[in-house]
Structure 1
Amino acid sequence: MKEPDLLPPPSPSRQDGDRRGGRVGPWLLTLAGVALAWVLADVLMLVFAGLLFALVLRALAAPLEARGLSPHLSLPLVLAALVALLVGSFWFVGAGATEQLQALRETLPRAWAAFLQWMAEYPTGRWLQSLWESAKPFEDWSRLAGLATGTLNAATGAVGALVLLLVIGIYLAADPDTYRRGLITLVPPPRRALAARTLDATGRDLSRWLLGQAVSMLVVGALTGIGLALIGSPLVLSLSLIAGLLEFVPYFGPIVSGVLIVGVALAEGEGLALQALLVCVAVQQAEGYIVQPLVQRWAVRLPPVLGMCSVLVFGVLFGLPGVLLAMPLMVLTMTLVGELYVRRLPGASP
């Protein structure tokens, strides 16, 4: 004889409440995660930059490991090679680059004076100049001192963040499987295969984008140096180095480097400034129509509108770190959307 149940079955209203709680719970966790990410935005940006550095180290160590070298030896060899490259570069060109950067710092006020003199020749320029003088942004010396102090503090914080970034990247590159398994463990078991595939796709796409970006930066720096040397521009080494580094920031980086190059040339004369402008335009055209199509055959391609929007959106959300990391953040976003949403749509290709 079957014994009767000791507990009565749950009422329909209680079952509906449980179902609603099961649906609301994940949303509450998601909102809590978004709020926590917003509070820790600076930390997350630093960790993400460290992840990019770790991907660079792993990409450099992969050929050594493919030839049978132990992972415990490949990474130290890569780090030693990078340190030797930096020391050698400073030994051969560091002194000249330091002198040119110092000369650039002394040339900028002269370039600014030449720019103001050039603007004074036109009615619109005179109106803008009077508007700037009426604002008097640096009339209050206390404000100027506060600005200098804030800049010094920001520079000190940037050095500390750079050191921490390098340490994070080295630790991530030394044992990536441990962190990968840890992230996958946080996912419910039915979703762990999807999480593993998504992490692998994210690492692959970010590595390909970094490699393509490195090629673009090298080409832009080299072409800028060659062009400025041909027209006889001063400070060729420092300006080409700045142009190559600013190529990492899409759209706005080339504009800033172009303004700087033209401004330095304007201090020597309007004719040289026009030639410098033509050099900047020619380098960007060559990078956009020759280098990028070749790189995008094996690197990640981002539509231009998405690239521009990424700088604006991530810059508003995360400030200067968001601007500097806008493109890899957009690559990460596109990969996550593709793996977690697009591939799961009915009829989507595998």
Structure 2
Amino acid sequence: MKFSQWVGFVILAFCIYLLWKIRELLLLLFTAAIIANFLNHGVQLLQRMGMKRGYAVLSSILLLLAILSAFFWLIIPPFAEQLPELFKLVALGIDQLIISTKDFISRLDPKLIDALPTNQEIIEPLQPLLKKIAGQGLLVFYATLGIPLTLLLLFALTFMLLANPSAYRQGFIRLFPSFYRPKINHILKECDRSLQGVLTSILFQMVMISLLSFIGLSILSMPLTLAQAMLAGILTFIPNIGPVLSLIPPVTIALLENSWKSVTVFILYIIFYIVIQMIENKLLTPLVIKNRKSILPALTLLSQVFFASFFGVLGFFLALPLALVSQVWLKEVLVKDILDRWKVHNS
């Protein structure tokens, strides 16, 4: 290698090391960019309606603050009040489910009971992993200014990016060589399209599953309906695993009352997800999220494990946006610009 190539390699290695050391701050910036990107589509809609950008940005910020204020004022207090009781009921329901399962297996073959692992044997191998993920998730907040100030920093970054996104976009593009800047601009547009479709779809699913859960559980006279509905909506943000986890609280709590109600709740949630998918495919996708890109379920699951191992809880929740952005960059840079142009020269 030439001296200039060695210098470039050393600089590249140092940049990678530096990015790794500040990965928590980069994840915070990525989160702010996602929120700003989503809000910017609302701002652009207001601009198309004739509103100036400054007023459109101010209107979007005020609307967001009003929604957050109403959410924390009206929903969070009863949700926080019901959440501890919800965890207790879920734990009791899981114990009841284990007892019912063992009774059923003992009727089939009593010898199978001895072969089943105990609760301790199941939980022990998972404890180190869960502690690691939880600790790294909190590190994102504690490593900077603490949770309150870090959240304030997140909102400040979001509003700054929203106020003048083109300036930050152009600044990022200029970090690359001039001949590659049009390509970077194209990649950013592809990332924007992918995130718009996915975030719209996820937000729609979260609102719908929360609303349908509250209505369905209220009709069945289930306890803690608000907490269960809110938790189901929050878990829906997590692809693949989230819908499965959202079934656990209502099914296990219903099992404490009687078995038929738990089966009814299970079937009800399956119907909810089917109805939501039908509405999304028939109405939302053609109108709003035409450019939605998807990731294979297996790759989504692997990305959740990968990003959770590096970034903890926050990485787990942001796995899908991170995977989508990574997919676009790998496709455009690695596949199209390197692998597709890699030709074998015969000597």
Q: Distance in 1 between matches of 2:224 and 2:277?
A: 25
State the partner residue of 2:44: 62
1:301 and 2:293 aligned: yes
- Among all aligned residue pairs of Structure 1 and Structure 2, give the percentage whose two residues are the same amino acid: 22
1:83 and 2:76 aligned: no
State the partner residue of 1:3: none
Moved more, 23-32 or 78-87: 23-32
Q: Distance in 1 between matches of 2:239 and 2:4?
A: 43
Please list every run of 5 or more consecutive structure 2 residues that lacks an aligned counterpart in the other structure.
125-130, 342-347
Q: Distance in 1 between matches of 2:73 and 2:192?
A: 34
State the shift of 1:116 in Å.
4.9
1:35 and 2:7 aligned: no
Q: TM-score, normalised by structure 1?
A: 0.77
Q: Distance in 1 between matches of 2:199 and 2:267?
A: 28
Paired AA for residue 335 in structure 1: V
State the partner residue of 2:307: 314
Query: Helix, strand or coil for the counterpart of 1:69?
Result: coil
State the shift of 1:95 in Å.
5.2
State the shift of 1:84 in Å.
1.9
State the partner residue of 1:231: 220
| Pairs within 5 Å for 1:58-137 | 58-89=40-71, 93=75, 96-119=78-101, 121=103, 122-123=105-106, 131-132=118-119
Query: Helix, strand or coil for the counterpart of 1:319?
Result: helix
Contact 2:83/2:227 (<8 A) preserved: yes
Q: Distance in 2 between matches of 1:159 and 1:65?
A: 35
| Pairs within 5 Å for 1:178-257 | 178-257=167-246
State the shift of 1:249 in Å.
0.8
State the partner residue of 1:324: 317
Paired AA for residue 61 in structure 2: L
Contact 1:53/1:166 (<8 A) preserved: no
State the shift of 1:34 in Å.
2.6
Contact 2:187/2:332 (<8 A) preserved: yes
Q: Distance in 2 between matches of 1:331 and 1:292?
A: 20
State the partner residue of 1:268: 257
Please list every run of 5 or more consecutive structure 1 residues that lacks an aligned counterpart in the other structure.
1-16, 138-145
Q: TM-score, normalised by structure 2?
A: 0.77
| Equivalent residue in structure 1 for 2:333, among 326, 330, 340 | 340
Q: Distance in 2 between matches of 1:325 and 1:208?
A: 15
Query: Helix, strand or coil for the counterpart of 2:257?
Result: coil
CA offsets 1:39-79 (integer angstroms, 9 cap, x no match): 22222211111111111221222222223323222222212
Q: Look at both structures and tell me which one has the larger radius of gyration over its CA atoms.
A: 1
Root-mean-square deviation (CA), in Å? 3.6
Contact 1:58/1:173 (<8 A) preserved: yes
Paired AA for residue 132 in structure 1: N
State the shift of 1:133 in Å.
5.8
